[in-house]
Amino acid sequence: MLSKIEIQNLSKKFVLADNKTNIQVLENFSFSLKNNEILGIIGPSGCGKTTLLYIIAGFIPYETGRVSYDGEPITAPSAKRTVMFQEYGLFPWMSVEGNIEFGLKAKGIPADERREITRHFIELVHLKGFEDKHPYQLSGGMKQRVGIARALASNPEVVLMDEPFASLDSLTREIMQEEILKIWGETNKALLFITHNIEEAIFLSDRVLIMSARPGKLKEIVPIDLEKPRLSEIKRGNSQFLKLKDYISQSLREETLKGIDQMGIKLTKVLGSIKMEKEGKNGKNN
């Protein structure tokens, strides 16, 4: 299967405001996103997941390595790659219809064609009858559906999601996960998404990529050989699903503990420096 996104030996660091401290966020990171694939990325907090997604989106630069889309280097955002953020990102002054057709209008698509495309995606995400409603009149799940419709309406080839369901209650989250699989079954887009939820990663993905503690590296990629379409009941009664959950949980736990150990070492150094500084001041005062 051909790859839409190719990451080769990617490294990224941030320089703090003091211009002296460098934080290595990603290091020697390599993987690919295939055509029509759903790839879930999971890893400890602070391992660089969102940074990785923003690099793929073309929002931020990187130091070394190669990040390519259809074989061409990614150097800027593109309409072929659209991003859904943790927040819904809807314009509160616009209706459901207005939010969905916003990107189409920006691309200069004629009004009649815009309305036809918008109607199609409103029906696809089951929001018919809510076209004239504004975001404050919608539930969290409905807002998320508007975001999905808006992302797909501009016809990207790759959709990038940063914890898209983090703000939803557990039941709505399960329903939206099922909806995503149905929608992607009809649209055949490539999807890369970040999550902290292991069940969500397994349920949605064709493969799950596990990142190491910072600096973020590829620890392993786990194939998810579960039949589609999938329903939420699979999370509770399918032995293969439960085995995958246990395996990924253990792998992620190892990296999380490494991250905690790293933070503990850094905290000890900071506290030691503070103690030495205080002792030095006390010595001068004496």
Concatenating the DSSP letter of every residue in 253-283 gives HHHHHHHHHHHHHHHHHHHHHHHHHHHHHHH
Domain boundaries, the chain: 3-80+156-254
What tokens appear for 88 in the block? 């819904």
Tell me which CATH code domain 3-80+156-254 carries: 3.40.50.300
**Res 167: pLDDT:** 79
- pLDDT, position 272: 54
Of 14, 37, 44, 2, the C-alpha closest to 217 is 44
10 close to 177: Cβ distance less than 8 angstroms: no
C-alpha–C-alpha distance, residues 179 and 170, integer Å:
14
pLDDT of residue 237: 85
In the predicted model, residues of the chain with pLDDT beneath 70 are 1, 263-286
Beta carbons within 8 Å of 192's beta carbon, 6+ residues apart: 5, 33, 39, 41, 53, 56, 158, 159, 160, 161
pLDDT for 27 equals 95
Q: Give the residues across from 29 on adjacent strands.
A: 10
Q: How far apart are the first and last CA of the chain?
A: 73
Instruction: Report the pLDDT value the prediction gives residue 270, as an integer from 0 to 100.
Output: 46
Measured distance CA(156)–CA(154) in Å, rounded? 6
Reported as type and span, the H/E element at residue 10 is strand 3-15
Rounded CA gap, 122 and 104, in Å? 14
Q: What is the DSSP string of 208-236?
A: EEEEPSSSB-EEEEEE----SS--TTHHH
Tokens representing 273 are 């420096």
Q: Which of 255, 195, 191 is nearest to 220 (CA)?
A: 255
Of 52, 279, 272, 236, nearest to 162 (Cα)? 52
Q: What is 57-113 written as a DSSP string?
A: HTSS--SEEEEEETTEE--S-BTTEEEE-SS----TTS-HHHHHHHHHHHTT--HHH
Contacts 24+ apart (CB under 8 A), 49-52: 49/194, 49/211, 49/216, 50/162, 50/194, 51/12, 51/25, 51/26, 51/216, 52/7, 52/10, 52/26, 52/216
Q: Which residues make Cβ contacts (< 8 Å) with residue 267, sequence separation at least 6?
A: none
Task: Give pTM, 2 decimals.
Answer: 0.85
Element (H, E) at 7: strand 3-15
